[in-house]
Amino acid sequence: MSEISPGLDLAKADQLIERHEKDATTVFGFWVYLMTDCVLFASLFATFAVLRNNTFGGPSGATLFSLPYALAETLALLTSSFTCGLALLAAQAKRKTQTLVWFMITFGLGLTFLVLELSEFHKFVAMGDSWRRSGFLSAYFTLVGTHGLHITIGLLWMVVMMLFIYKRGLNRLSLKRIRMLSMFWHFLDVVWIFIFTIVYLFGALHA
């Protein structure tokens, strides 16, 4: 922090430390929220694991899912997680334009992921394999749809964040929010690792 210089008066230093610790507490609180969100996903994963073979004469995962398609979704989300980290680094180095560019790339990749996921959903529903078809499909749409909903919220948040950075620059408040947004985005990528493995890869092996 460049404000600290040898001649600084102590009252101001105390104030800075206090603010810094307050921000750290807020970011930690957000991490606690993310961990409770894991419990939501864990219950959906458990439901999916229990219902995965209850196809009720409908299609199973092996006949329904296309592995290259799922891989494309995974690569889009993984790369967006990486570029989101680079956006945070640029923000911490106070490089405004670079931060905005990385966030735009992250947003583009995130949107690509969401469009891929929604067109997959659309294809299934159009074939008559919606969530009403079987227990397996109900569990599938609930689990993957909840993740997609989180991605949608993350994308909206990113738009708001970019506008905020553009208007107000990289101040203490925007840095705190960027840290939480990047945590949220990395977290969604972590959840997707398990969706990719348990839903798509395990689904292909169950054939």
The tokens describing 16, both together, are 């800075």
Closest CA to 183 of 74, 84, 96: 84
Look at the block and give the residue holding tokens 């008066």: 9
DSSP at 94: T
Look at the block and give the residue holding tokens 């606690």: 32
Whole-number Å distance between alpha carbons of 183 and 172: 17
Q: State yes or no: residue 173 binds other proteins (CB under 8 A).
A: no
Q: In whole angstroms, how close is the CB of 146 to other proteins at the nearest point?
A: 15
Q: State yes or no: residue 156 binds other proteins (CB under 8 A).
A: no
Q: State yes or no: residue 197 binds other proteins (CB under 8 A).
A: yes
Interacting residues with other proteins between 22 and 41 (CB under 8 A): 24, 28, 31-32, 35-36, 38-39
Binding mask 66-95 for other proteins (x = CB under 8 A): -x---x--xx--xx-xx--xx--x--xx--
The tokens describing 171, both together, are 């101040």
Start-to-end Cα distance in the chain: 57
Q: Using CA of residue 128, residue 132, residue 136, residue 138, what is the dihedral sign?
A: positive
- Cα dihedral angle (38, 40, 41, 42), rounded to 10 degrees? 80
User: CB of 100 within 8 A of CB of 111?
Assistant: no
Closest CA to 114 of 160, 66, 76: 76
Of 63 and 197, which has the nearer Cβ to other proteins?
197
Of 101 and 125, which has the nearer Cβ to other proteins?
101
Q: In whole angstroms, how close is the CB of 126 to other proteins at the nearest point?
A: 26
Q: State yes or no: residue 46 binds other proteins (CB under 8 A).
A: yes
Q: State yes or no: residue 62 binds other proteins (CB under 8 A).
A: no
The tokens describing 183, both together, are 């945590």
Q: State yes or no: residue 118 binds other proteins (CB under 8 A).
A: no
Of 111 and 198, which has the nearer Cβ to other proteins?
198
Of 25 and 119, which has the nearer Cβ to other proteins?
25
Residues that bind other proteins (CB under 8 A): 1, 4, 13-14, 16-17, 20-21, 24, 28, 31-32, 35-36, 38-39, 42-43, 45-47, 49-50, 67, 71, 74-75, 78-79, 81-82, 85-86, 89, 92-93, 183, 186-187, 189-190, 193-194, 196-198, 201-202, 204-205
